Amino acid sequence: MSSEALSSTDYIKHHLQNWTFGKHPDGTWGFAHSAAEAKEMGFWAIHVDTMFWSISLGVLFLWLFRRAAKKASAGTPSGFVNFAEWIVEFIDTSVRGSFTAKNSLVAPLSLTIFVWIFLMNLMDLIPVDWLPSLAGFIGANVFGMDPHHVYFKVVPSTDPNATFGMAFAVFFLVLYYSIKIKGIGGFTGELTLQPFQAKNPVIQALFIPINFVLEFVSLISKPISLSLRLFGNMYAGEMIFILIALMFSAGIGMGIFGGLLQLGWAIFHILIITLQAFIFMTLTIVYLDMAHHEH
- pLDDT tens digits, 183-192: 999 999 999 9
Structural domain boundaries enclosing 283: 8-291
Phi, psi of 135 (to 5 degrees): -65, -40
CA 108, 66, 167, 157 torsion: positive or negative? positive
Name the pairing type of β-strands 29-31 and 46-47: unpaired
Render 67-94 in DSSP notation, one character per residue: HHHHH--SS---HHHHHHHHHHHHHHHH
Greater confidence (197 vs 156) lies with 156
Residue whose C-alpha is closest to residue 98's, from 288, 295, 255: 288
The mean per-residue pLDDT over the stretch 62-90 comes to 88
The residue from 218, 225, 227, 249 that is catalytic is 225
Q: How far is CA 44 from CA 8, 20, 47, 161, in A?
A: 30, 10, 10, 11
Residue whose C-alpha is closest to residue 54's, from 287, 234, 271, 262: 234
At residue 7, the pLDDT reads 83
Instruction: List the 20-23 sheet strands across, edge first.
Output: 29-31, 20-23, 46-47
233 assigned to active site: yes
Check: CB of residue 248 under 8 Å from CB of residue 262: no
- Residue 290 CA to residue 215 CA, distance in Å, equals 13
Kindly state whether residue 189 falls inside one of the protein's structural domains.
Answer: yes
Check: CB of residue 24 under 8 Å from CB of residue 30: yes
At residue 52, the pLDDT reads 97
Kindly state whether residue 2 falls inside one of the protein's structural domains.
Answer: no
For residue 207, name the pLDDT band (cuts at 50, 70, 90).
very high
Residue whose C-alpha is closest to residue 246's, from 128, 134, 137: 128
pLDDT tens-place string over residues 2-37: 444 578 888 999 999 999 999 998 999 999 988 899
At residue 5, the pLDDT reads 56
> Total structural domains in the chain?
1
Kindly state whether residue 3 falls inside one of the protein's structural domains.
Answer: no
- Residue 24 CA to residue 42 CA, distance in Å, equals 9
225 assigned to active site: yes
For residue 174, name the pLDDT band (cuts at 50, 70, 90).
very high
**Vertex 41: Cα angle to 39 and 46 (nearest 5):** 100
Kindly state whether residue 1 falls inside one of the protein's structural domains.
Answer: no
Greater confidence (138 vs 250) lies with 138
Greater confidence (103 vs 5) lies with 103
Kindly state whether residue 266 falls inside one of the protein's structural domains.
Answer: yes
pLDDT at 275 over 80: yes
* Among 71-75, 143-147, 235-239, the least confident range: 71-75
The residue from 34, 98, 133, 229 that is catalytic is 229
On average, the pLDDT of the chain sits at 92
Q: What is the largest CA-CA distance in the chain?
A: 77
For residue 180, name the pLDDT band (cuts at 50, 70, 90).
very high
- Residue 51 CA to residue 55 CA, distance in Å, equals 6
For residue 181, name the pLDDT band (cuts at 50, 70, 90).
very high
At residue 199, the pLDDT reads 87
At residue 77, the pLDDT reads 73
pLDDT tens-place string over residues 148-173: 889 999 999 999 999 999 999 999 99
Check: CB of residue 23 under 8 Å from CB of residue 44: yes
- Residue 226 CA to residue 284 CA, distance in Å, equals 9
- Residue 39 CA to residue 17 CA, distance in Å, equals 11
Check: CB of residue 134 under 8 Å from CB of residue 102: no
Kindly state whether residue 103 falls inside one of the protein's structural domains.
Answer: yes
Kindly state whether residue 172 falls inside one of the protein's structural domains.
Answer: yes
For residue 142, name the pLDDT band (cuts at 50, 70, 90).
confident
User: Which one-letter DSSP state was computed for residue 11?
Assistant: H
The residue from 3, 121, 178, 233 that is catalytic is 233
Kindly state whether residue 222 falls inside one of the protein's structural domains.
Answer: yes
